[in-house]
Amino acid sequence: MNWPLLGNAVPQRKHPIRTLIGRMVFKLIGWKLEGNLPNRSKLVLVALPHSSNFDFVLALSVIWGWGLKLNYMGKHTL
């Protein structure tokens, strides 16, 4: 599977092992990533409450598979 390319303005971490793990998770479950991120150096994403802990695994797989440099904020009960 070819992952969509990121623009040069998107902050990235070059970590080949994490990238491999993230992409392997998607391959193992048979999912594919569609669409692109805007070519911006800063972006706000809003996530709503999820129904299972597997949502975290999928989100982490996307972050690692794309090699995104990401910061997050959450409430104290996370």
pLDDT value of residue 30: 92
CA 1/CA 52 separation, integer angstroms: 26
What global pTM score does this model have? 0.80
CA 32/CA 64 separation, integer angstroms: 14
Q: Which residue(s) pair with 68 in the sheet?
A: 12
pLDDT value of residue 15: 92
40 neighbors 9 (Cβ within 8 angstroms): yes
pLDDT value of residue 78: 62
**Segment 33-55, tens digit of pLDDT:** 888 888 999 888 777 767 777 88
What is 21-68 written as a DSSP string? HHHHHHHHHT----S---S-S---------SSTHHHHHHHHHHHHHTB
